[in-house]
Amino acid sequence: MTINAVRTPGQAASRQGVLLAVGSMVCVQLGLASSVGVVEQIGPADTAALRLMWAGVILLALVRRRVTTLTRKGLWISVELGLATAGSGLLFMAAVARIPLGTASALEFMGPLGVAITHGRGNLRRVWPATAALGVLFLTEPWNGAADPVGVGCALGAGAFWAAYILLTQRVGDEVAGIVGLAVSLPVAGLVATLVAILVPNSGYPGAIPPQFWLAGLGLAVLLPLVPSTLELLALRRVNAAAYGTLMCLEPALALLIGLVLLAQIPRTSSVVGVLLVVTAGVGAERTGSRTGSEPDVHVAGG
């Protein structure tokens, strides 16, 4: 007698969720890698402004009628999410203008890693901060001054905003149905990024950006955050927060790989070790810090 293995609907959905999650992270890193050339031409602030403005315009056009259904609390939380999105995007663009993509992504990952550790349980939660700190040392090599301190600071600042972004996204998911909250947060992020682009010294402003860069900004907005956000929402209907959080730990490694392939950013051995330590800390922290089953599983692309 031959017994054929039957994949249950739950197993099939879980596999689909993993593929969607990985697709989202790949899309995020492709979007960031594609932004590097634009950053070199018009600067990090204008690049972030273009990307976030286009994303906000597209999403608001798609769901504008449902925005009017927001409660005052939902509207305010969505605005706060927009501020966090702008902060993360602006600082990360400034970081990748100064340090390699893989290093910047690993340093930015300190933000969500901190959230996972803070919400962790058990004695092992004390191990992961030390592991992550060791990874940061290998990434920045303070003993020889190899890393640009401004770039490192911008990446860590982006991580802090990403941590706030995750917590606010969870609150928006609790308060607002569907993607209506994003239809508020992304236009707010675009507006804030535009104001910063106008005020930053030696940076142009939207009226002075050549037309070809406006078209490039539209493409970047599709790569990041529109497509990743959609993929993540679909993924989170199929996998739980703990599984998704563990998958998210692959992002610094993906950034290192994409930086190597697309940007010819050859990592030093110390950078590879640093990324591996950060990923290890992330996997460990996520496995001890998932949300409970009664809480919604929400996470939207950052960067």
Distances from the Cα of 262 to the Cαs of 97, 120, 248, 253, in angstroms? 15, 36, 21, 14
- Position 247 scores a pLDDT of 78
- Position 291 scores a pLDDT of 47
Task: Name the CA dihedral angle for 262, 267, 271, 276, rounded to a multiple of 10 degrees.
Answer: 60
* pTM, 2 dp: 0.84
Measuring CA to CA, which residue among 148, 116, 104 is closest to residue 303? 104
10-residue stretch averages of pLDDT, the chain, 303 residues long:
50 78 90 90 88 89 75 90 94 93 92 79 74 88 80 95 86 77 89 88 60 87 85 73 73 92 91 91 72 43 48
Query: What's the CA gap between 287 and 284, in Å, rounded?
Result: 5
Cis check for the bond before 225: say yes or no (omega within 30 of 0).
yes
Residues 95, 155 contacting (CB under 8 angstroms): yes
SS3 letters for 214-269? Answer: HHHHHHHHHHHHHHHHHHHHHHCCCCCHHHHHHHHCCHHHHHHHHHHHHHCCCCCH
pLDDT in tens, 230-249: 787 677 667 766 667 677 78
Query: What's the CA gap between 79 and 77, in Å, rounded?
Result: 5
Structural domain spans, the chain: 25-287
Query: What's the CA gap between 245 and 279, in Å, rounded?
Result: 11
Residue recorded with tokens 């917590």: 167
- Position 122 scores a pLDDT of 64
The one-letter code for the residue type at 163 is A
